[in-house]
Amino acid sequence: MRAKTAVVVGAQWGDEGKGKIVDVLSERFSAVARYGGGHNAGHTVVIGGQKFVLQIIPCGVPRPQCKCIVGNGVVLDPIYLLDELARLRGMGVSIDGRLYLSNRAQVILPYHRMIELAAESAPGRQKIGTTSKGIGPAYQDKMSRGGLRVVDLLNPSLLKTHIEAACQEKNAIAYALFGAAPLDSAKMYEEYAAAADQIRPFAADTGRLLNSILASGGSVLFEGAQGTMLDIDHGTYPFVTSSSATAGGAVTGSGIGPTAIGMVIGVTKAYVTRVGEGPFPTEIHDPSGDALRARGHEYGAVTGRPRRCGWLDIPLLRYSNRVNGTEWLVVTKLDVLDELDEIPVCTGYEINGKVTDEIPADVQGFESAKPRYTKLKGWRQSTEGINEFDRLPQAARDYLRFQERESGARIGMVSTGPDRGQIIHLPEFAQALNSIHAVS
């Protein structure tokens, strides 16, 4: 029997609309668990015109029956978390008794932001295009075994000792390398000790909790952050994030075993976007790219940065499906393409004179890749709000079936607008979900 779990991952460079999809699917699950990243991720959920922008808290939070779990793979800034909690409470969302923070999650402290901002701004350094929120340096401390975890944050004497020692080290490094002004360790301790008292009720052994939910017959939806091509191992390195953004991260970032993964759902736009630096073979450098950005409202939910826009990339999507083990695809923002007469789709590359349908491992190969396009017919009519596949224009259905056939994963849902109700559920996908969800 299949495990009662599903993992939702971004199939591109993030910003695919995972927040909406997790919100839609969460109705079927006992809990939603976030397993990686930090508050650099921005997931937007629109319900009846009301917008929720979530950065740390899982997108199941608008569902009152859902437990919301922040796993050990997340890096957590307590101050940002408390701000997010205050915003949600102000919108009438119930939190208490539903939110659980892993006591093993790593804590982001101000010196992480100081180091990242200084490094990203330093002359002569390769710019990655980070959000400068301290995510990378926090993961760096984690892997070098010098980080602070939530369980340590809750221990006042350990917290004080850690902050004093870390500030002495980080201030010296930041000044020597970047000329940055030092941080006040005493002030930092007071602020984070106060935050710890407010966070204490939410701290838990979330790995044990997740396994208990599954053992008792419940179901869990795992929420990824960023996208596959930003994964630290499988993405366009070094223009990646610092965590495991693929489906495998759901295991290491939550405390469940690999046999507990029941289904992998990849979320892809009907085109492609990217924020920040790094290679992007199908990026559009003419007015049609600006038109996609305008129609798709392609600006970062957290940073407000304009997203780079490009045509759908089949080799990239096929690769993503492979490394994630994706069975089902959710295609978002189909309606953004409504006005096009013709839609190019990349089906392969030419790299140094050779034709290939595989993405290269190296950045230089990616940067030199010339996309080879197949042009599909546009539909030139509105698909916004359509919630039945057979009501889509024939050319739109052909576009989706081409994407399905070429990528190797079946399409289970299609999003035709930002609101929760603007979505198409294909019956085969609904049947597959019914085989695993069984909320207890």
* DSSP sequence for 359-394: --SSHHHHHHPEEEEEEEE---S--TT---GGGS-H
The rounded distance, in Å, linking the Cα atoms of 72 and 253 is: 5
**DSSP H or E segment with residue 330:** strand 328-332
At 131, is the pLDDT very low, low, confident or very high (cuts 50, 70, 90)? low
Residues with active-site annotation:
15, 43
Cβ contacts of 80 within 8 Å, gap of 6 or more: 39, 55, 56, 108, 133
Report the 10 Å Cβ neighbour count for 168: 12
The DSSP call for residue 288 is H
Sign of torsion over alpha carbons 147, 301, 422, 269: negative
Give dist(CA 214, CA 259) in Å, integer: 12
Query: Is pLDDT above 50 for 438?
Result: no
Q: How far apart are CA 14 and CA 269, in angstroms?
A: 10
DSSP 32-63: EEE-SB-TT--EEEEETTEEEEESSS-TTTTS
Res. 269 pLDDT band, cuts 50 70 90: very high
Structure-token match 């959000």, residue found: 131
Q: In the predicted model, is pLDDT for residue 321 greater than 50?
A: yes
pLDDT at residue 122, rounded to an integer? 55
**pLDDT tier, 13 (very low <50, low <70, confident <90, very high otherwise):** very high
Q: Which of 105, 103, 109, 104 is nearest to 165 (CA)?
A: 109
Q: pTM of the entire structure?
A: 0.92
Tokens encoding 414: 């299609």
pLDDT at 440: 40
What is the pLDDT at residue 360?
A: 93
User: 36: which 2 tokens?
Assistant: 């990686």
Q: What is the pLDDT of residue 302?
A: 63
Question: Residue 245: what pLDDT?
Answer: 95
Q: How far apart are CA 116 and CA 159, in angstroms?
A: 22
R_g over Cα of the chain:
22
Q: How far is the C-alpha of 190 from the C-alpha of 21, rounded, in Å?
A: 39
| Dihedral over alpha carbons 119, 122, 124, 128 (to 10 degrees) | 40
